[in-house]
Structure 1
Amino acid sequence: MAIINNLAFLALLVVTLTVALASADDRTKTVEFNVKPGGEVHTFSEKMREYECSFTYASQGGTNEQWLMSVGLSDDDGLFSCSVWRPQGKSYLFFTQFKAELKGAKVEYASAYSQTAAGGQRDVTLKEDEFTVGDSTVTHKDGKFRAELSKLTIIGRTRHDEL
């Protein structure tokens, strides 16, 4: 398990560095979108070549918030990443549900975060019983998810055949 966590961390680091170093090329894209309260289910999606990340949610309270979604491909096209977050920090919305889905990639690593009430700028990993990681999805768990979400990160292995 430690090896898998180390590999997941390494993969996250590779994708993060790729995003940071290659943000001007066709391997990364960051777009802004509104997270809307009111309890209705909304979906926001972004594509990178033949890969896609979708974020589906319902939230309550407050007003619209500006969020960002970044998608990226590693240099060898072996990893597809998707991150969804609120750049201003703590979200004041209560998420009644969320689901992120990768199309064209199998989830290798996923993490979800809320932020502390004290200061509101420190990411706190959601407890493992608050969300479920599937082959292509990361989903809240009914009755366990505490309605706080500030960031979601997923890294998937693309389905490229080796020569």
Structure 2
Amino acid sequence: MVRQSDSCVASSAFLLFSVLISAASVPADASPDRSKTVEFNVKPGGVVHSFSENIGDYECSFTYASQGGTNEQWMMSVGLSDDDRLFSCSVWRPQGKSYLFFTQFKAELKGTKIEYADAYSQTSASGQSDVPLKPEEFTVSESTVTHNDGKFSAQLSKLTAIGRTRHDEL
């Protein structure tokens, strides 16, 4: 798993906040070549499903299997920074709490190297929302964020990854 120093974590958190704010505040007439947010159904039944979105050469795919309940509406936002150096992907349940139990999940960023990633469970018993998954519940590699078999608690409400593109200066 990617480990970061406190200053790097603070920098990554600010970067994530900036990317999410810019993705959430995109004007209706904004060009879809920089960011987009789309809705998709997360389907239970234990079958592996996948959903993906891209911007230019960069793609985010979310692959999962879940059990229980009925379909849930989820969102995926992808965004490319103004300088083309960062590509972000967030997958989340707008209502916060998911009633589904995830048996597996994987987010993959194509065309980038992940520099920051985090995953969250649903609201805790104390009412705190977006409780980070324990570090042992998932693994971050160069291009994926994946559940850890036998250690993942089966609860997921949000997943975020930011990758550095292989954009070169002229």
**Residue 94 in structure 1 maps to residue 98 in structure 2:** no
In structure 2, the gaps of 5 or more residues are none
Alignment partner of 1:77: what SS? coil
Q: Does structure 1 conserve the Cα–Cα contact (< 8 Å) formed by 2:124 and 2:131?
A: no
Identity %: 72
Which residue of the partner structure matches residue 49 of structure 1? 56
Q: Which amino acid aligns with 1:110?
A: A
Alignment counterpart, residue 6 of structure 1, candidates 2, 5, 10: 10
Q: Deviations over 1:56-79 (max 9, x none)?
A: 000000000010000011111111
How far 1:128 sits from its partner (Å)?
A: 0.3
Residue correspondence of structure 1 range 60-75 to structure 2 within 5 A: 60-75=67-82
Which residue of the partner structure matches residue 149 of structure 1? 156
How far 1:49 sits from its partner (Å)?
A: 1.2
Alignment partner of 1:87: what SS? coil
Alignment partner of 1:11: what SS? helix
**Residue 108 in structure 1 maps to residue 115 in structure 2:** yes
CA RMSD of aligned residues (A): 1.5
Q: Which is further off, 99-108 or 12-21?
A: 12-21
Alignment partner of 2:11: what SS? helix
**Residue 15 in structure 1 maps to residue 19 in structure 2:** yes
Aligned length: 163
**Residue 29 in structure 1 maps to residue 33 in structure 2:** no
TM-score, normalised by the number of residues in structure 1:
0.94
How far 1:11 sits from its partner (Å)?
A: 1.7
Alignment counterpart, residue 133 of structure 1, candidates 130, 140, 143: 140
Q: Which amino acid aligns with 2:41?
A: N
